[in-house]
Amino acid sequence: MVVVLRGGVPQEKIEPLISWLKGKGLGVREFHGQEQCVLGLIGNTAGVDIEMLRSLDIVESVGAVSDPFKAANRKIHPEDTVVSTQGTGGGSLGGGHFALIAGPCSVENEAQITLVAQKVKEAGATFLRGGAFKPRTSPYDFQGLGEEGLRLLLEAKKATGLPIVTELMELRSLPLFEEIDVIQVGARNTQNYDMLKELGRVPNTILLKRGLAGTLKELLMSAEYIMASGNENVILCERGIRTYESDYSRNTLDLSAVPILKRLTHLPVVVDPSHGTGKAYMVEPMSLAAVAAGADGIMIEVHNNPAEALCDGPQSLTPEQFADTARKVFKVREALA
Amino acid sequence: MVVVLRGGVPQEKIEPLISWLKGKGLGVREFHGQEQCVLGLIGNTAGVDIEMLRSLDIVESVGAVSDPFKAANRKIHPEDTVVSTQGTGGGSLGGGHFALIAGPCSVENEAQITLVAQKVKEAGATFLRGGAFKPRTSPYDFQGLGEEGLRLLLEAKKATGLPIVTELMELRSLPLFEEIDVIQVGARNTQNYDMLKELGRVPNTILLKRGLAGTLKELLMSAEYIMASGNENVILCERGIRTYESDYSRNTLDLSAVPILKRLTHLPVVVDPSHGTGKAYMVEPMSLAAVAAGADGIMIEVHNNPAEALCDGPQSLTPEQFADTARKVFKVREALA
Amino acid sequence: MVVVLRGGVPQEKIEPLISWLKGKGLGVREFHGQEQCVLGLIGNTAGVDIEMLRSLDIVESVGAVSDPFKAANRKIHPEDTVVSTQGTGGGSLGGGHFALIAGPCSVENEAQITLVAQKVKEAGATFLRGGAFKPRTSPYDFQGLGEEGLRLLLEAKKATGLPIVTELMELRSLPLFEEIDVIQVGARNTQNYDMLKELGRVPNTILLKRGLAGTLKELLMSAEYIMASGNENVILCERGIRTYESDYSRNTLDLSAVPILKRLTHLPVVVDPSHGTGKAYMVEPMSLAAVAAGADGIMIEVHNNPAEALCDGPQSLTPEQFADTARKVFKVREALA
Amino acid sequence: MVVVLRGGVPQEKIEPLISWLKGKGLGVREFHGQEQCVLGLIGNTAGVDIEMLRSLDIVESVGAVSDPFKAANRKIHPEDTVVSTQGTGGGSLGGGHFALIAGPCSVENEAQITLVAQKVKEAGATFLRGGAFKPRTSPYDFQGLGEEGLRLLLEAKKATGLPIVTELMELRSLPLFEEIDVIQVGARNTQNYDMLKELGRVPNTILLKRGLAGTLKELLMSAEYIMASGNENVILCERGIRTYESDYSRNTLDLSAVPILKRLTHLPVVVDPSHGTGKAYMVEPMSLAAVAAGADGIMIEVHNNPAEALCDGPQSLTPEQFADTARKVFKVREALA
């Protein structure tokens, strides 16, 4: 339920209403917009007398939110969320702050990650991505450098100032992620509810990928799991879905997810055209398309030597290709500014 | 099979080779590029002595085309096809000629189609679309004005000069389409092979929509049916595919089809964000995305009064919304020029 | 809308009601069950005074049918339809009459079709299937014997007495199908609405396949097109749908279609495990499963020499394998009788 | 790689070969069939001299296994695996031992679980299922009784002797599952690789559900994760996949998974028609179909009062319906014995 207050109501008149609502066992999200304050009520509102609420002089209107997602709902929180990673030394994302996230699929060694980090920074990247723990379909494939990979990413951050995005695969390694700016939840863990609840209790920003064949409602419900546990720094990521079309692409990148999610939620939405297509030659056109569709950021795999990458080489750009794509991305953003 | 000839070989040296190949029962497509001539061989090439071909002094190289589509294959015809509708009084599409196709889902009456045609032309449209024969899931729904609808479209063409795009639903009405510039094959007829063969024998341009849940290979094979019968004026159209995501969109618009098709074929590729999303609010972002991804054109439903449209109102733009979208489309094209 | 009449109402009291309803512009389907008569009203019922209807002494109840399919709806026609092909000399299907339909993908020559027809008849088949006109993805593949194929099928019918099931690919060849017992509409024509309307005006039975990626509602709506034009002899056929699973099967045979369709409609439902799986080794287990799920018939491809079949060899059974499968099919039917 | 030994080779001649292969860093699975012994080599076989192997007098043949799954592969382990839960006091499953697994979606209280356990046992169930930890799409829904639920299940086991199947949602609760006969990995955790690795180190049997939209290859690779860590007691479970068909069923139960998996792997395959359809009325026909298709077991939700179940009521059978279905299941098995 959403309670929209009249413009100009002073905070001391709002507090008693909030206390009273909390006394009914409800969670209350207070949202101060430029002109008015909105209260989002989460939980069972059956015990609230709506007519009484409407009759209060500080209340302008009361509305229902029938969607199953509440904290993530734009109806409850109308303005764009701007996610900040300043606590861990990073930048902002969402609400006009565009993020260009780049880096290798896997961290392989110090020389590689440092080189790629510098190159992508020069080309305009604002975040460094890289995998330390890797989900692989086969138990016999390279599974990532693990803890050592995280250490190398933090070295690269020190060298370049770029905040880090990297994936958590299971809760037992969570303590190692303390200094990581953005913890990624991969497509195979989008509905790992225990992991989501736990990530609701950390101060890091969470980048939540859409499931391999996940609906947008499921993605929002998974964000809701994190937010309901207290962490509102959540970024949603479209990364391609599974369809019957597999001759020419690894996944079907669903760019309609961008306008749909931007309408349904206030959380920032980024697009991963590398995993979303699985082919380097499609990364540029789909990056430009994602930006034109309104994405708050894009995440691109860049490798100094794609042909010898330990993982996902066929979808990685070289630093030169990335720089070229980045230039065009900024042009499209300017054209639509 | 593709035979690449050396640069500068005169036509009189090429002719005997072509005659000889045709004598083997093969179709031969002759493609004169800026520097060299390429011969595309279609049919069973088992009887051709490749080593002999390679040893000819006018031949540079001989390669196999393992893809099942031949005439539509960029390997056989490396340069972009530019489709022209001048025979019927229209313009060009493909190879840098961008098409903005707009108009109502159904032609309803003269006033409606004339008004919409003028409005979309003012906003920059280069083709007028409108349905006279309508495929409807239910036999009890409005099935279009039929022949009268075609007549009204041709009136609107006379008034505005815009060439017409409209759908053919079955072969018996084909004689009525003589003056129609672009005959659309709808998503339910993409694999209506008898229709495709027959459209291979008409002079009109064909706009071939991807099937409801069609693969890109199937789309190319359907184009091949038309081309194998002699009509090379074929435009491919991405219009959204069926996936499990149906809460928030009617189809999943697959924009990765654009870079994939542009790589595989020389035929022009347009995108229909109206049917591809089913929601007016998504038409603009997905139009911009399609253009950024490299589409040769976009096709948008515009209705003077979407709320009262006899068909597909929820996905139609008003003329004003269309003009706004068109402006941004041109900006994105400029930015990437 | 459905009007359920009281038990024992004589026909002369029903006629005036029907006339009055028809006078309102409605189609009226009269269904005489064992105890009562039900009238199914098709068309716009907005002008009917429901309260008045309910107050009539011959009316027991009046109910809405919110489903978009009417003539095919079990609510309007509660008892199973039994399709008969006696007009063309064949047998029955549905309502307890189980059909075992077998034969080659394509008719290749007289010896082949006669041999296969005799073998499958000996094994218990009740219908002979065989393709004369073949839909092929590639224009360069074998397209069937055409009219000659139909002639050979009718020869085989004469020799064995088995009624024939064969596919119509386009309306212009419809006159050739006069003596064909069951005209098949293939998966690529399920939504070829003009073909469906025309098939509503012929006396033959129609076997309507589910679309390549068609929903069950679409299948029912396509049946509705045929029935709304006057032909109620319609058989529905599940033949596998397109999913993301393609490593090990050609399609995903959706056997849940059987109980769902049997609940929604009174039309008979058959299953095609040959196209539905694309692999001979799966035909037997999926045939048994289809029968256990309640199918009114199964349709199996049988070829005297699958390795050399001109079409779909990998999914064809030999006559011996078919006989073995047929034995088990009958055992499962007995077990559940 | 698979090394097939000649019949009658004594174990003392096999041991040195195994030692030698292990010395090359390979895992070796020894499979003693009725006539011969087969050695399955897992790992990088590039360093093995195949010609030398073939020349050994105890070796009959050496073959490659190109599939990415090895331990689960029927080529490496040709005979059916029979999973036993005797260590925890339960029965067998696979290789002719049919399992009828039944019980409520969620354990709600002692009276409920005891009543249902007794009823399903009387009807022929051989395992009791029930959820203690529940994965729910919404953080605001009932999440299961947790540890208390496990305790109640073990009480019901004591009372009825039925071994228990219940779901593990995250590794931290694994120590509570010591006495649980079969630990279920749910569809949202099928690719939770860290969980799979850990379950490779417990003595319990694992029932691994196919992912929400998982391929069969992915399911086998997930089984491979468990087996590669040492636990070979793995049961595979088809539970319906996500398709575009959602009007009439919750998922599309893919029964072709049964013959496909039985061909590819030696592991037992069970089917869950309750989650696979989401509708009680479909559970019986799809159970019978699963058995006819060759499933080693079926898993059915049974609730004493479906209308008031805290979870998944619409798909639960009453004990009476279950008894009826069980009777028919046994009839179909007999008919095909």
Confidence band (pLDDT; 50, 70, 90) for B90?
Answer: low
CB contact under 8 A, B245 and A216: yes
* D242 → closest Cβ in B213, B242, B244: B244
Element (H, E) at A300: strand A297-301
- Closest residue on chain C to B227 (Cα): C139
Give D244's contacts in chain B (Cβ within 8 Å).
213, 242-244, 246
Element (H, E) at D324: helix D319-336
Q: Which contacts (CB < 8 Å, 24+ apart) does range D249-252 have?
A: D249/C256, D249/C260, D249/D277, D249/D278, D249/D279, D249/D282, D250/D275, D250/D276, D250/D277, D250/D278, D250/D279, D250/D315, D251/D275, D251/D276, D251/D277, D251/D278, D252/C241, D252/C243, D252/C252, D252/C254, D252/C256, D252/D276
- Distance, in angstroms, between C280 CA and closest chain A CA? 22
CB contact under 8 A, C213 and A244: yes
* pLDDT the model gives residue A89: 63
Instruction: Tell me which residues of chain B have a C-beta less than 8 Å from any C-beta of chain D.
Output: 213, 242-244, 246
Number of Cβ pairs < 8 A linking chain A and chain D: 79
* pLDDT the model gives residue D88: 67
* C189 → closest Cβ in B135, B138, B192: B192
Give A249's contacts in chain C (Cβ within 8 Å).
none
* C289 → closest Cβ in D215, D289, D331: D289
Confidence band (pLDDT; 50, 70, 90) for C155?
Answer: very high
- The parts of chain D modelled with pLDDT lower than 50 are none
Instruction: Tell me which residues of chain C have a C-beta less than 8 Å from any C-beta of chain D.
Output: 213, 215-217, 241, 243-245, 247-249, 252-256, 258-260, 263-264, 276-277, 281-282, 285-286, 288-294, 328, 331-332, 334-336
Least confident of A131-145, B168-182, C232-246, D186-200: A131-145
| Chains contacting B (3 or more CB pairs within 8 Å) | A, C, D
CB contact under 8 A, A264 and B248: yes
- Tell me the per-residue pLDDT of C91-146, one tens digit each, with 9 for 90 and over: 789 999 999 999 999 999 999 999 999 999 999 999 999 999 988 888 877 788 99
* pLDDT the model gives residue B138: 82
Q: How far is CA B22 from each of CA B27, B57, B102, B232, D24, rounded to the nearest angstrom?
A: 6, 20, 43, 19, 59
- The parts of chain A modelled with pLDDT lower than 50 are none
What's the mean per-residue pLDDT of chain B?
A: 92
Question: How many of the other CB atoms lie within 10 Å of CB of A197?
Answer: 19
Give D242's contacts in chain A (Cβ within 8 Å).
213
* Interior angle at CA C306, CA C305 and CA C309, nearest 5: 90
Give C218's contacts in chain B (Cβ within 8 Å).
137
For chain A, helix, strand, coil in percent to 5 are: 40, 20, 40
| Chains contacting A (3 or more CB pairs within 8 Å) | B, C, D
Confidence band (pLDDT; 50, 70, 90) for C89?
Answer: low
CB contact under 8 A, C332 and D334: no
* pLDDT the model gives residue A70: 87
CB contact under 8 A, A197 and D139: yes
- Distance, in angstroms, between D95 CA and closest chain A CA? 27
CB contact under 8 A, D228 and A194: no
Give B70's contacts in chain C (Cβ within 8 Å).
140
Q: pTM of the full predicted structure?
A: 0.89
DSSP D201: T
- Tell me the per-residue pLDDT of B38-55, one tens digit each, with 9 for 90 and over: 888 887 777 788 888 888
Amino acid at D187: A
* CB B295, CB B332: distance < 8 Å: no
A262 token code pair: 């931007």
- Distance, in angstroms, between D250 CA and closest chain B CA? 11
* CB A29, CB A77: distance < 8 Å: yes
* CB A270, CB A207: distance < 8 Å: yes
* A135 → closest Cβ in D43, D139, D193: D193
Instruction: Tell me which residues of chain B have a C-beta less than 8 Å from any C-beta of chain A.
Output: 213, 215-217, 241, 243-245, 247-249, 252-256, 258-260, 263-264, 276-277, 281-282, 285-286, 288-294, 328, 331-332, 334-336
Higher pLDDT, B209 or A31: B209
B303 token code pair: 């209705």
Q: Where are the beta strands (DSSP E) in C181-244?
A: 182-185, 205-209, 234-238
D229 token code pair: 């860590």
* D134: Cβ contacts below 8 Å, ≥ 6 apart: D105, D106, D142, D143, D144, D167, D169, D311
* pLDDT the model gives residue A90: 66
Give B243's contacts in chain D (Cβ within 8 Å).
244
For chain B, helix, strand, coil in percent to 5 are: 40, 20, 40
Question: How many of the other CB atoms lie within 10 Å of CB of C323?
Answer: 17
* pLDDT the model gives residue A312: 77
Complex prediction ipTM: 0.90
CB contact under 8 A, B246 and D244: yes
* pLDDT the model gives residue C302: 97
